[in-house]
Amino acid sequence: MGGPQPVPVGGGDDGALDGVRVGVVTFPGSLDDRDAVRAVRLAGGSAVQLWHGDHDLQGVDAVIIPGGFSYGDYLRAGAISRFAPLMEQITTAASGGAQALPVLGICNGFQVLTEAHLLPGSMIKNNSLHFICRDQRLRVENADTFWTSDYADGEEIVIPLKNQDGQFVADNRTLDELEGEGRVVFRYVDGNPNGSRRDIAGISNIAGNVVGLMPHPEHAVEAGFGPDSSARGDVGVRGGTDGLGIFTSVLKKLVG
């Protein structure tokens, strides 16, 4: 029977955006799937819950692989999840040329995307060997992906970061390719929290439909529940919403 049945939970004021169905995958150990669902709804889209053991993407227009500790991070973070039946469907759909499915991997989702070879490189333990939880300043290096088009190149944002295996590593040739092809999407600002090579916080595939990042934009989408700071000016306590643009970007891109 699988897990939870796909249920639309969205409904923004913009009818066109509301028609965009964004799937959020739940694995055993996912923690932030409900947060991602809420972020999609707050952005104006309709979220559809997807279960890792199913074989049907339910006709969604985009997919988010959320944060957490899928399969308890046994073996290696994201290593087991890449073999889930639904990941086979996602991998095929995300590699589909001009009509490729937009996919966002957040934290553990980023780890899954590297394990599935939808993104290059690998994620290893933070150089401090400690779990990190803090608000993190980032710079948007590429605003031309499906998930960043509501930002501007060079714009800075503040969103929460929480991980233990958050250090992005790759050989120098891969790193040079990512830089040269404009596939570094986010970079850490005001200090590298985990030792990631070249301060990389997020990357994309060459088509720009697949993006992975370690920080959590879904935790910075609603005033009163976000960071205490913003790169866009002063905000009240828990008032930061800099992450909302990740979710509005894909909705507008698909509608437009």
Is 133 among the catalytic positions?
no
Whether 117 is a known active-site residue: answer: no
- Which of 115, 141, 218, 222 is flagged as catalytic? 218
**Residues 225/238, Cβ–Cβ less than 8 Å:** yes
Q: How far is CA 204 from CA 95, 150, 234, in A?
A: 13, 16, 30
- Is 216 one of the catalytic residues? yes
Phi/psi for 47 (5° steps) reads: -95, 145
Give the active site residue among 52, 107, 141, 222. 107
Residue in this structure with the two tokens 């759909």, named with its chain if needed: 93
Q: Considering the candidates 52, 216, 219, 222, report the single residue annotated as catalytic.
A: 216
Query: What angle, 0 to 180 degrees and rounded to 10, lies between the N-to-C axes of helices 33-43 and 244-255?
Result: 60
Closest CA to 78 of 202, 178, 214, 188: 214
Q: Which amino acid is at 236?
A: G
Report the C-alpha gap between 136 and 123 in whole angstroms.
18
**CB–CB of 75/100 below 8 Å?**
no
| Catalytic center residues | 107, 216, 218
